[in-house]
Structure 1
Amino acid sequence: MPTELRLRGRLFLDAEIHVLTGLHIGGAGGKVAIGGVDSPVIRDPITDEPILPGSSLKGKMRSLLERWGGYEPNHAIGQARIHVCKTEERYRNCPVCHIFGVPGEISFAYPTRLVVRDAFLTDGSREVLRRADTDLPFTEVKWEAAIDRVTSAAVPRQIERVPAGAVFRAPRIRASDASDEAHGALMVYHIYFPQDLEWFDHVVEAMGLVEDDYLGGYGSRGSGQVAFRRLRLGHKIASPRTPYPEDITWLGDPSPDLTEFRRQLPELLGQIRPLLSSG
């Protein structure tokens, strides 16, 4: 493997995450008062608004990409199992390990390429949910019943969900600027070697796998269908002898959906490739 480790640039992928069916990403239930829901969603402790953790999205992307590619889930992290290349030879050509990272004890690994930010309600969604007659602030309560397979007894439970129609997005870079350019990026992708640019397609592929699956819990019962919309790609690339760019250079107009973004991706990466060569 190459021995020189130099950050050549970063790609920035911004997108809105549209909730198509009620979304449940669970939070700690320790603060739920008597009479509260059985399974609450995770909320921002300051605003009390539901959030979409970057760890949930990144973990789902990795899990689905591993299954799609047939990667062996050979490493346990708590109760979960992920794929980890155990030898340098296997690691060298494994996009999953490079993009999503490996445990710290793997001595031959390079830094994780992909960072996924937490996402928050957009201003529009916040206002709609604030005015809506929801069961709880910004959320709905869905009643379900677990059926005992022996006695057929029904055990009711309450699932808190972010309602369909809500939209999440990465936070603004400049809070005082309401323009679209003020938004940050949902994902940041680090480029250390030329191969990293070619592997970026796997990030977008994983997003497509998420759209066809679900985020959060209770997906097999209808929850968690999402769609990525208003996607755009930007970069910060400069030679080692020039200052690191302050602003993201965005390429083209936002794509309305993931299908259109994937169609445009080869052209967008084609604009970035010469910049890396010159840097």
Structure 2
Amino acid sequence: MANEDRRRPLRGKIILRGLMVCDTGMHIGAGGNNLDIGGIDSPVVRDPLTREPYVPGSSLKGKMRSLLERQLNLPFNRYGGNGVYRHECSNRKCLACRLFGAAGGRDGDNIPGRIIVRDMSMTKESKERLSEIETGLQYTEWKFENSLDRVTAAANPRQLERVPRGTEFDFEIIYTVESEDEEEIKKDLYNIVQLLRMVEDDTLGGHGSRGYGKVRFNLNIFEGRLIGFYSGDTGASKSLEVKTPEDCTGVVDEMAEFFG
């Protein structure tokens, strides 16, 4: 491929902000290496400084990518280890690879992803509310479960840690604008919004088939920043409020026109 074909113009950023609300308890595991007597078998991931539970951006981004790959019926042609297959290709028109990126390898074309999904921290209101609830844990709850031997009916009890229902997290997704094509920008933004809606009807985190991880996204703000904004041009930005889910279509169209 010619050098000019590998250029990636940076035209600006579009920032999506809002709240993620847990409609059921949610478990995103920390993968602890220690098993303490009387302790929790599967703890949630926490900030090492504040000890507050958070949602890694990789958890949401991975779920979004997985749903898009399945929606588009893409081949799972790349083995990522641990028994996990995913789709990757060197086609820059591939909607999944364009948004989320692809490592083409030695003979392929690397495609850096266009979206950044930030780690999500609990809102101040949720921290205050959870600090008043006595669960024996900091900001979380115990969930006791049993798995049953199908032959002997012997119980195997286990204890999992969950973020309680009603907990809210601030979320932020950043889309990098590389194209002057309004339709391409619209398509990518529509896909981001639609994927968030699909996650709502799926699960986030572990043990989803047992009722965990039902979440809801309240998109509040789309903020567009042309490249001139970063050089001090205050007129090179545009902020659009989202009041209802139905507003997203008009907001996406207006934001794409701003960059077109």
User: The residue matched to 1:255 in structure 2 has which SS?
Assistant: coil
The match for 1:192 is 178
Distance 1:151 1:97, change over 3 A: same
Mark the runs of 5 or more structure 1 residues left unpaired by the alignment: 171-185
Alpha-carbon distance in structure 1 between the residues aligned to 2:147 and 2:234: 53
Alpha-carbon distance in structure 2 between the residues aligned to 1:138 and 1:128: 9
The match for 1:46 is 49
Distance 1:222 1:245, change over 3 A: farther
Whether the 8 Å contact between 1:114 and 1:187 is mirrored in structure 2 is yes
Distance 1:269 1:130, change over 3 A: same
Q: 1:70 aligns with which of 73, 78, 83?
A: 73
Letter in 1 for 2:248: L
Distance 1:221 1:229, change over 3 A: same
Whether the 8 Å contact between 1:54 and 1:116 is mirrored in structure 2 is yes
Whether the 8 Å contact between 1:98 and 1:113 is mirrored in structure 2 is yes
Structure 1 residue 76: deviation in Å?
1.1
Distance 1:31 1:209, change over 3 A: same
Letter in 2 for 1:251: S
Alpha-carbon distance in structure 2 between the residues aligned to 1:113 and 1:230: 19
Whether the 8 Å contact between 2:228 and 2:236 is mirrored in structure 1 is no
Distance 1:32 1:151, change over 3 A: closer
* Identity within the alignment, %: 38
Q: Deviations over 1:32-76 (max 9, x none)?
A: 643210011000000011000000000011111111221111111
Superposition map of 1:151-170 within 5 A = 151-170=152-171
User: The residue matched to 1:160 in structure 2 has which SS?
Assistant: strand
Which has the larger displacement, 54-63 or 71-80? Answer: 71-80
Alpha-carbon distance in structure 2 between the residues aligned to 1:15 and 1:44: 21
The match for 2:88 is 84
**1:93 equivalenced with 2:89 (yes/no):** no
Q: 2:243 aligns with which of 255, 263, 272?
A: 255
The match for 1:128 is 129
**1:229 equivalenced with 2:229 (yes/no):** no
Distance 1:71 1:190, change over 3 A: same
Alpha-carbon distance in structure 2 between the residues aligned to 1:138 and 1:121: 10
Question: How many pairs are equivalent?
Answer: 252
Distance 1:245 1:265, change over 3 A: farther
Which has the larger displacement, 129-138 or 114-123? Answer: 129-138
Structure 1 residue 275: deviation in Å?
3.2
Alpha-carbon distance in structure 2 between the residues aligned to 1:231 and 1:209: 18
Alpha-carbon distance in structure 1 between the residues aligned to 2:187 and 2:6: 19
Alpha-carbon distance in structure 1 between the residues aligned to 2:81 and 2:234: 39
Q: 1:27 aligns with which of 27, 30, 37?
A: 30
Alpha-carbon distance in structure 1 between the residues aligned to 2:194 and 2:233: 28
Structure 1 residue 154: deviation in Å?
1.0
Q: 2:250 aligns with which of 254, 267, 277?
A: 267
Q: Deviations over 1:143-188 (max 9, x none)?
A: 1111112222110101110000100114xxxxxxxxxxxxxxx100
Alpha-carbon distance in structure 1 between the residues aligned to 2:168 and 2:235: 25
Distance 1:77 1:7, change over 3 A: same
Whether the 8 Å contact between 1:138 and 1:162 is mirrored in structure 2 is yes
Structure 1 residue 8: deviation in Å?
0.8
Whether the 8 Å contact between 1:232 and 1:250 is mirrored in structure 2 is no
Mark the runs of 5 or more structure 2 residues left unpaired by the alignment: none
Structure 1 residue 205: deviation in Å?
1.2
Alpha-carbon distance in structure 1 between the residues aligned to 2:104 and 2:122: 33
Alpha-carbon distance in structure 2 between the residues aligned to 1:244 and 1:167: 34
Alpha-carbon distance in structure 2 between the residues aligned to 1:267 and 1:67: 27
Structure 1 residue 272: deviation in Å?
2.8
Which has the larger displacement, 66-75 or 105-114? Answer: 105-114
Q: Deviations over 1:188-239 (max 9, x none)?
A: 0111123244322111111111000110001000000000014321111135
